[in-house]
Amino acid sequence: MSDDPIKDALNRIPYGFYSLTSCSEDDVNAMVFNWFMQTSFTPRLVAVGLSKTAYTHDLISKSGVFAVNIFDMEDQDTLTQFTKPRAKAPDKMEGANYSRGPQTGCPIFDSAAAYLECKVVEIVDIGGDHDIVVGEVINAEILKPGEVEDTLTLPDLGWSYAG
């Protein structure tokens, strides 16, 4: 524990660890992220906390689409090359094994357990360093049958992105 009880409490939230992919014409990108949740049943909406300075933010703003790649714990090595921002790793998509999503054209990783393709409903500037991107899920596929317990999370990696 630290001297900051708010940070300690926020670190108790069991965040998942996913890849957010985006595209705008021929430009594709992938990043890792964990601030993600479903926000509506009808229509099926999800929300992503996305840094305003992320390259992906620009692509999503231009194209109005994104995809969420969900991974099993055993496939965590797939995400390693996407932990660096595009400015530090401009060629990070080279050699990545993916296909383009049928509805959005966003990268869908071959090793993902499942994916969601989303159309942006709204990007909300909440006044902080991240925006909230609300997307309607327009397509999804299970690539590896499993349970929620199989899904990769930040605690599985011993990492934290909260507080």
The boundaries of the domain holding residue 77 are: 5-34+54-121+140-157
pLDDT of residue 59: 98
- Residue 42, in any domain of the structure: no
134 lies in a domain? Answer: no
Q: Is there a cis peptide before residue 43, judged by omega within 30 degrees of 0? A: yes
Domain membership of residue 39 (yes or no) is no
Give dist(CA 1, CA 65) in Å, integer: 39
pLDDT (tens digit per residue) in 67-117: 999 999 999 998 888 999 999 999 999 989 999 999 999 999 999 999 999
Does the pLDDT of residue 119 top 80, yes or no? Answer: yes
pLDDT of residue 45 exceeding 80: yes
Lowest-confidence range among 9-13, 14-18, 112-116? Answer: 9-13
Does residue 11 lie in a domain region?
yes
Tokens of 148: 């929620």
- Pairing of β 36-40 and β 45-51: antiparallel
Domain count, the chain: 1
**Quick one: pLDDT at residue 23?**
97
CATH number for the domain harbouring residue 112: 2.30.110.10
Distance of alpha carbon 15 from alpha carbon 12, whole angstroms: 9
Would you say residue 162 lies in a domain? no
Residue at 72 is within a domain = yes
